[in-house]
Structure 1
């Protein structure tokens, strides 16, 4: 099994989301918290590699910048 490439940092996304989540968000054109806020949790969870842990970490980072997930 090949190692997952670590492409972090990705924009201002927190490193704590993990390398797979960071890579998959980047591949889907999401490289900033502002872009994360343009999506609902459900939309982000549909991206391979983005799970509940990444959603919680991103949610904290959004709140720190007075942003929130899009309501679905």
Structure 2
């Protein structure tokens, strides 16, 4: 019985550590989760950081498509932010 109690305490601490939920709300409700996760993988968590990238660079990210890009561009325009210009 004591072994079960010890085992339960060990498992509960592992469960708590391994199931931490991130609460990054950047662009939540604006673009779909796959596109948000793509930005998160690149450590883009603000419009200011996003403005350092070109539209072409963002479109190359796995999870981004035309629909997400249109929504993102509209949101950026509302906040008077734009993508970095592509060098020719």
The answer, yes or no, to whether TM exceeds 0.5 is yes
Corresponding residue SS for 2:25 = coil
Going from structure 1 to structure 2, the CA distance change for 1:18 and 1:62 (only over 3 Å counts) comes to same
Count of aligned positions:
65
TM-score (norm 2): 0.65
> 1:10 aligns to what?
25
Runs of 4 or more above 3 Å deviation: 7-10
> 2:66 aligns to what?
52
Q: Using the TM superposition, give the Cα deviation of residue 55 of structure 1 relative to its aligned residue in structure 2, in angstroms.
A: 1.0
Matches of 1:8 and 1:58 in 2, distance apart?
A: 20
Q: Which has the larger radius of gyration?
A: 2
TM-score (norm 1): 0.77
Corresponding residue SS for 1:23 = helix
What's the CA shift string for 1:13-66, capped at 9, x where partnerless? 242310100011101111111111111110001100011111111111111111
Specify every segment of 5 or more residues in structure 1 that has no aligned partner in the other structure, as ranges.
1-6
- Which is helix-richer, 1 or 2? 2
Specify every segment of 5 or more residues in structure 2 that has no aligned partner in the other structure, as ranges.
1-21
RMSD across aligned positions (CA): 1.7
